[in-house]
Amino acid sequence: MACPREDRERDELVLVGPLGVRAAESSGRPAAEAECALRTCFQRDIDRITHCKAFRRLKHKTQVFLQPEGDHYRTRLTHTLEVARIARTISRALRLNEDLTEAIALGHDLGHTPFGHAGERALNEIFPGGFRHYEQGLRVVDRLEKDGRGLNLCNETRTGILNHTTGIPRGSLEADVVRLSDRIAYINHDLDDAERAGILAPGDEPEIVRERLGERNSRRINSIVTDVIETSRGQDVILMSPGITEAVQVFTDFMYSEVYRNPVAKGEESKVGDILLNIWRHYVRSPRLLPEDYQRIAEEDGLERAVTDYVSGMTDKYVIDVYMDLFIPRSWQVR
Ligand code: MG
């Protein structure tokens, strides 16, 4: 019988250049498995991530704006999809492995807490040893998904998820593409959302951004992506030209000062930390309130670890529901 996976692996000898990772050359999975007849190992990783629960929860997790009322603000899920699209475009143009790139991109934010970086800061304060969303991302795919069995992803996908924001070597150019695509996506869509929220007006961004990147969202993304492809072609590193690097740096600094640290946009954030800390302490004091699978993790990996896994996996809305349930007295209902 024909084997579409083998056909694709042969095609990759042409489509994926010498700097990319070919599926047939993957270093494998933590637990050995028989190959699929239809899909390469990286295609399988894409499917496993897309079908996992943590991926669906991204829909209800904050990107930057807490619980925004409007339908058009980005969530962690739409951010993830935008990163995947940008990363695939760059990867294809550079003849890297698009499937591996997509798997890393779809998995790159699975470890994010509710309420974005405010949530991450709170858990980092209280969990012994600290909390970082990229380490949690690897824990989600290795340990928490599929009732504690994990997704058993390829090592190249796992390394890419772990290292998408840190400076240490990431192991593949595909992972480097995702890391840069993450930044390209968020500075641009957060500017768009900040204008939607009335925090910035069109044209507020620095002149160098308008001049070198463009005045519209689509134009800016296209300018940066084109530059990355032209500058990185044939190199064993993913980078931008000096002129675009400078504009992107000014753009990033501008977003930090005007949006990410803006007291209007972030006005509710101080409340978020207290809510998460209270919930965390409550479960540590009363472990029997944890769902059964997290009680099992508590037995095997320690209580504080299990509570951190549970709380970090919550969506924004679920946190509020749990908080109401645990700490807000219910009014009497007379029937
Ligand atoms: Mg991200």
Q: Is the pLDDT of residue 166 over 60?
A: no
- The pLDDT score that the predictor gives to residue 118 is 87
Q: Is the dihedral of CA 108, 114, 120, 126 positive or negative?
A: negative
Cα of 178 to ligand 1 centre, how many Å? 9
- Ligand 1 centroid to Cα of residue 132, in Å, is 13
Asked whether 59 and 75 are in contact (CB, 8 A), the reply is yes
| C-alpha 109 – ligand 1 centre gap (Å) | 5
**Token digits for 128?**
């012994």
- The pLDDT of residue 167 is above 80: no
CA of 33 to the centre of ligand 1 (A): 30
User: How far is ligand 1, taken at its centre, from the CA of residue 80, in Å?
Assistant: 6
What is the tens place of the pLDDT at every residue in 104-122?
999 999 999 998 888 999 9
Query: What six digits make up the tokens of 147?
Result: 């009732």
Residue 258 CA to ligand 1 center (angstroms) comes to 19
Phi, psi of 62 (to 5 degrees): -65, 140
Distance CA 144, CA 77 (A): 19
pLDDT tens figures, 23-46: 999 999 999 999 999 999 999 999
Q: 201-226: per-residue pLDDT in tens?
A: 999 999 999 999 999 999 999 999 99
What is the Å distance from ligand 1's center to 15 Cα? 27
Q: Which residue has the tokens 């929220």?
A: 197
Question: Average of pLDDT values for 241-246?
Answer: 98
Give pLDDT, residue 169. 57
Domains by residue range for the chain, with CATH:
4-270 (1.10.3210.10)
Q: How much distance in Å is there from the Cα of 186 to the middle of ligand 1?
A: 7
Q: How far is the CA of 37 from the centre of ligand 1 (A)?
A: 32
In the reported structure, the alpha carbon of residue 20 is separated from the centroid of ligand 1 by a whole-number distance in angstroms of 22
Distance CA 177, CA 227 (A): 13
CA of 213 to the centre of ligand 1 (A): 21
Q: What is the mean pLDDT of the chain?
A: 92
CA distance linking residue 224 with residue 212, whole number of Å = 9
Asked if 234 and 251 touch (Cβ cutoff 8 Å), the reply is no
Report the C-alpha gap between 297 and 51 in whole angstroms.
22
